[in-house]
Chain A
Amino acid sequence: MTLTHLQRLEAEAIHVMREAAAEFERPVMLYSAGKDSSVLLHLARLAFAPAKPPFPLLHVDTMWKFRAMYELRDRAAAEAGMELIVHRNPEAETLGINPLDHGSSLHTQMWKTDGLKQALDRHAFDAAIGGARRDEERVRAKERVFSFRSAGHRWDPKRQRPELWRLYNARKSKGESFRIFPLSNWTELDVWQYVEAEGIEVSSLYFAEPRPTLERDGTVLMVDDERLKPGPGEQVEERWVRFRTLGCYPLSGAIESRAATVAELIEEMRTGRQSERQGRLIDRDGAASMERKKREGYF
């Protein structure tokens, strides 16, 4: 019996999650309601069935996610019967930090980077399982599956450990922690093929439908609620759009498309040929911006 690539990727991800569950005292799974989160949650359920996964879900909220993502998040957590912890950075909340007035950089830093660190510290989580993939960014190609973080959540390329075979070194001192990436070896295409093969529910935002949008600085944004107001010369128009990656709605560029099924999405990917981060406004802050963000503790 020769295993397919999806079977092998699935087996590896399950192995990694079980290893994390066995080796850490307080693991948590990050859940953002994106497609990678949906796949990760599905795999966690496979890994421990018939029991529930032995860790809670953590959503680091920014107040600006698409409404459809909040709905999916609550429903998916309830269906899995897992505890869902939602953390919002109180300081960002008090200061009213938002992407429209403060820019993507500060917004992301305070809500996501600082928010994640706060949440991990508050609950004393020693390992955060996340859905990042090595193909997302060139600098992620060297990321470990068990990625070590010094006290203060700093990522230091020199302190990462060699990973041989299926062996992961999970030892650490007080205050140190890990980020665990079971989907390290998956590509975007693998994720979609797996979603299709397993019938996993992903956000409706990945599929095209007519949505209220406006165009700003060459990017089509969805007007998901009244907080995004058309500026001078801008107008709200209905367009057939979908999203390739999901984050805060004012920072997520839409793609004009008619692809309404996973099969159609995969077909568009074959011909479309832009990388995933095209639509991610936070990645346009600078050439090696992802690496800098990682050193500061971004996921």
Chain B
Amino acid sequence: MTEKTLLRLITCGSVDDGKSTLLGRLLFETGSAFDDELALCGDDLSRLVDGLEAEREQGITIDVAYRFFATDSRKYIVADAPGHEQYTRNLVTGASTAELALVLVDARKGVLTQTRRHSYLCRLLGVSRFVLLVNKMDCVGFDRAVFDRIVADYAALGEDFTAIPVSARSGDNVALRSRSMPWYDGPSLLEHLEGIEPEAESDAGPFTMPVQWVSRRDRRGFAGTVTGGSVRRGAAVRVMPAGTRATIARIALGERELEEAAKGQSVMLSFTEDVDCSRGDVVASAACPPEAADQFEATIVWMAEEELVAGRQYALKLAAQSALATVHTPKYEIDVNTLEQVPAHGLQLNGIGVANIWTDRPLVFEAYEDNRDLGGFILIDRVTNETVGAGLINYALRRSNNIHAQVLDVTREARAALKGQ
């Protein structure tokens, strides 16, 4: 029973599509809700996932909430991002850690502009699996034609997805298969989720581990979370951005020694050699370490009331690296409703734009699409200290000068070879 896997989801949908009811239903059906909480809900399961006082008064959810449910074989963490028009910020936040998106559509309304926007944002943030849930099928007489039409509309968006007709309120096809829709012979939502294979190791890319903390006891230990690939004892690595070669002498988790550490694990590494390595450095596979650069093109999501000021310096955090960053005037903005590139006039709250950015020191990075942890960064206002933007690195504009050119050439070739496989 303790051998469960973990799957992180995000729910997307417009207000009133039935997101809360669906989540409440999943909690209920998997036995993840307690009797006293259920008693407070009456027959409205959406009340299981109620929010904060201020929101309750306004009758809307205004922030990302994280909910949990579990079956015998899997624990689910659900980022419940509100469906309200303005909340691109929340959806992006929730999607940043999600592996799968549940896209809700009201059967009576069909695919809306918001459906399109949410799917786009999830894709942008690297969510690779989508489930289209056509909800409230009871309201359209469980009609197959309605479902088919919505599936065809959604398919036109070009995403890869699985479609399931459901009624969150009555539970049809949520955990149990529906008796009212004999024409549907696919799995229920829960059956589908249980069958999802975790990300394959071969997809994890080359080994990278940003160093968070250096322990100085006995032999020096370099602590961090593996953000790509895996590493074994004895492996040859490089410490970036310097490019210093080293050999892994020991991989530890507490007092336990490990043979191998894989993506997602937090470990402590020691090297055979005495090398310089501090917080912010990235320990990486010697064959294809990530590059360092100080000029990038990035897609930026703006998250603050005060608009982006081109030319102003913001504090930037990428993995364990901190720098000062200047964002140039965005080249264009993405209209999240039409997905068209439109001329940018600055970047306002919930705006998404593509801009060049430069930093006051080289950063070890990977393209966001290759590695979320080494390609995603936040921008912080240096006066208010608030997180004002999130950025996804597309590519470097210029290699940083203080990197050994030789390391880089090796890197480029190795990476090209790796991608070509």
Determine if B4 and A5 form an interchain contact, defined as CB atoms under 8 angstroms apart: yes
Determine if A185 and B77 form an interchain contact, defined as CB atoms under 8 angstroms apart: yes
A95 to chain B minimum Cβ distance, whole angstroms, is 30
Other than A19-B212, A22-B320, give 8 A-B pairs with Cβ distance below 8 A.
A4-B5, A18-B223, A22-B212, A45-B254, A162-B90, A162-B390, A165-B373, A166-B373
Residues of B within 8 A of A8 (CB): 6, 264
Give Cα distance in the complex from A173 to B52, angstroms. Answer: 26
Determine if A163 and B376 form an interchain contact, defined as CB atoms under 8 angstroms apart: no
Partner of B66, one of A185, A266, A291: A185
The residue among A5, A47, A162, A291 with the most chain B CB atoms within 10 A of its own CB is: A162
Residues of B within 8 A of A171 (CB): 315, 380, 385
A71 contacts the other chain (CB 8 A): no
Known: A50-B217, A165-B96, A275-B37. Contact between A134 and B254, CB under 8 A?
A: no
Determine if B198 and A18 form an interchain contact, defined as CB atoms under 8 angstroms apart: no
- Band of interface residues on B: 35 or more
Residues of B within 8 A of A159 (CB): 386
Q: Please give me the residue from chain A that is nearest to B252 by CB atom.
A: A49
Give Cα distance in the complex from A142 to B82, angstroms. Answer: 12
Determine if A142 and B52 form an interchain contact, defined as CB atoms under 8 angstroms apart: yes
A67 contacts the other chain (CB 8 A): no
Q: Please classify the interface of chain B as helix (H, G, I), strand (E, B), loop, or mixed, using the class held by over half of its residues.
A: mixed
Q: Please give me the residue from chain A that is nearest to B217 by CB atom.
A: A51
Partner of B230, one of A1, A6, A12, A22: A1
Residues of A within 8 A of B217 (CB): 50-51
Give Cα distance in the complex from A163 to B93, angstroms. Answer: 6
Residues of A within 8 A of B340 (CB): none
Determine if A164 and B50 form an interchain contact, defined as CB atoms under 8 angstroms apart: no
Give Cα distance in the complex from A2 to B166, angstroms. Answer: 31
Determine if B387 and A5 form an interchain contact, defined as CB atoms under 8 angstroms apart: no
Residues of B within 8 A of A161 (CB): 386-387
Among residues 1 to 56 in chain A, which have CB atoms less than 8 Å away from a CB atom of chain B? 1-12, 14-15, 18-19, 21-22, 45-51
Q: Please count how many residues in chain A sit with their CB below 8 Å of the partner chain's CB atoms.
A: 61
Give Cα distance in the complex from A183 to B37, angstroms. Answer: 22
B2 contacts the other chain (CB 8 A): yes
A270 contacts the other chain (CB 8 A): yes
Partner of B35, one of A7, A21, A274, A288: A274
Binds B, one of A57-65, A103-111, A189-197, A222-230: A189-197
The residue among B37, B66, B67, B96 with the most chain A CB atoms within 10 A of its own CB is: B66
B207 contacts the other chain (CB 8 A): no
Give Cα distance in the complex from A167 to B189, angstroms. Answer: 31
- A binding-site residues for B, Cβ under 8 Å: 1-12, 14-15, 18-19, 21-22, 45-51, 134-135, 138-139, 141-142, 157, 159-167, 169, 171-173, 184-185, 187, 189-190, 193, 196-197, 266, 270, 273-275, 278, 288, 291
Give Cα distance in the complex from A266 to B4, angstroms. Answer: 15
- Can you offer 8 A-B residue contacts whose CB atoms are under 8 A? A6-B4, A22-B320, A162-B90, A164-B378, A169-B387, A171-B315, A273-B34, A275-B34
Q: Please give me the residue from chain B that is nearest to A49 by CB atom.
A: B254
B85 contacts the other chain (CB 8 A): no
Give Cα distance in the complex from A171 to B2, angstroms. Answer: 37
Known: A48-B215, A141-B65, A164-B378. Contact between A6 and B52, CB under 8 A?
A: no
Give Cα distance in the complex from A163 to B52, angstroms. Answer: 18
Determine if A50 and B218 form an interchain contact, defined as CB atoms under 8 angstroms apart: yes
Residues of B within 8 A of A15 (CB): 212, 225, 266
B233 contacts the other chain (CB 8 A): no
Determine if A4 and B264 form an interchain contact, defined as CB atoms under 8 angstroms apart: no
B54 contacts the other chain (CB 8 A): yes
Give Cα distance in the complex from A252 to B236, angstroms. Answer: 55
Give Cα distance in the complex from A156 to B380, angstroms. Answer: 19
B205 contacts the other chain (CB 8 A): no
Determine if B262 and A3 form an interchain contact, defined as CB atoms under 8 angstroms apart: yes
Known: A11-B266, A157-B54. Contact between A184 and B66, CB under 8 A?
A: yes
Residues of B within 8 A of A163 (CB): 93
Determine if B215 and A51 form an interchain contact, defined as CB atoms under 8 angstroms apart: yes
Partner of A5, one of B49, B74, B218, B385: B74
Partner of B67, one of A2, A6, A12, A141: A141
Determine if A142 and B201 form an interchain contact, defined as CB atoms under 8 angstroms apart: no
B279 contacts the other chain (CB 8 A): yes
Give Cα distance in the complex from A10 to B2, angstroms. Answer: 13
Known: A163-B93, A184-B66, A185-B66. Contact between A138 and B49, CB under 8 A?
A: yes
